[in-house]
Amino acid sequence: MTIAAANTRPQRAQGRGHLSAKLLDGRTRIRELYQEGAAKIRLPQTFDASMEAVIINTAGGLTGGDEMNWSVVAGPMTRIDVTTQACEKIYKASAGTAEVTTTIAVGADARVDWLPQETILFDRASLSRRLDVDLSETAQFLAVEAILLGRKAMGEKMETGLFRDRWRIRRAGKLIHAEELRLDGAIGALTARQPVLGGQVAFATLLYAGPLAEAYLAKMRPLLDGHAAGASAWNGKLVVRAAAADGFVLRKILIPVISALRNGAPVPKVWNL
């Protein structure tokens, strides 16, 4: 290897995608659509008044130093379902940390369902992620974030690395939910502990904020019975947490739960078992 090659800074993936929607003739329509770099947004045809947005990272995964920024604005009385084309893969980082930032604003009587597919963390991956949501007084919001510490079927396991996940959910400017998760260093040993994940390598958090939180709770308990999962509801929000031996088992838990929180509507078409 030449000295010039050794000193060449690796190319990093960057992307920024923005979608804003408005209500027009009783249907959710595009107000603004912007995409830059590795961030792409596709809008499959829907057969009701809602909009489905599929976000895509054309870099094919993230590693240290990569940056992705997504933003969604749902105007009054609109409905947007946001998902990903596939699982996001976070590869081993030789240096730096991948940064993913998502900001969502939901207007009066509008609803956004943030339903990305799982994020897969490979050994020595380094990821810092942030979700900021601003809700109007009458908005509804559903979010799911699922993590796989390697792909068990492929014999993979995340032993070391960094994963930081930060959520801030506000309604009418008031903070109603905050999360701060940090797995750092010897993650394999940490998650093997019973109070953490007890050796499970797949886990997820779901949050619903809206007027039906307490009503949904009764539907959650039967769906979670027999699994390493639980649900609670208070002050207009419902939180579900689940862990499983692998991604397939976790998805079997998540799909009926998500459907129940969508009043029976299925998960986006790009999801599958």
109-125 residue pLDDT tens: 999 999 999 999 999 99
**Alpha helices, DSSP H, located in the chain:** 3-6, 187-191, 213-224, 247-261
Cβ-proximal residues to 110 (8 Å cutoff; 6+ apart), any chain:
74, 75, 76, 77, 78, 79, 80, 136, 139, 140
What's the pLDDT at 157? 86
What's the pLDDT at 108? 98
% pLDDT > 90, the chain: 89
What is the four-CA torsion angle of 151, 148, 104, 43, rounded to 10 degrees? 20
- Judged by DSSP in three states, 154 sits in helix
* Mean pLDDT of the region 124-146: 98
What's the pLDDT at 155? 78
pLDDT tens figures, 190-225 = 999 998 999 999 999 999 999 999 999 999 999 999
Lookup result for tokens 């240096």: 95
**DSSP state letter for 264:** T
What's the pLDDT at 156? 82
Lookup result for tokens 């709770």: 217
> What is the band of 3 on the pLDDT scale with cuts at 50, 70, 90?
low
Structure tokens at 252: 């079997």
Q: How do beta strands 111-115 and 79-84 pair?
A: parallel
Please state the pTM of the whole predicted model.
Answer: 0.94
**Which of 15, 170, 31, 41 has the alpha carbon at shortest distance from 100?**
15
Is-contact 105 73, C-beta < 8 A?
yes
- Distance in angstroms (rounded) separating the CA atoms of residues 74 and 106: 5
Positive or negative: CA dihedral 135, 137, 138, 140: positive
Strands (E) across 201-267 are located at 202-209, 228-234, 237-244
* Mean pLDDT of the region 78-86: 97
Tell me the domain boundaries of the chain: 12-136+146-201
> What residues are paired with 19 via a beta bridge?
33, 72
Mean pLDDT estimate for the chain: 94
Query: Does 145 score more than 90 pLDDT?
Result: yes
Cβ-proximal residues to 86 (8 Å cutoff; 6+ apart), any chain:
117, 270
* Mean pLDDT of the region 90-111: 96
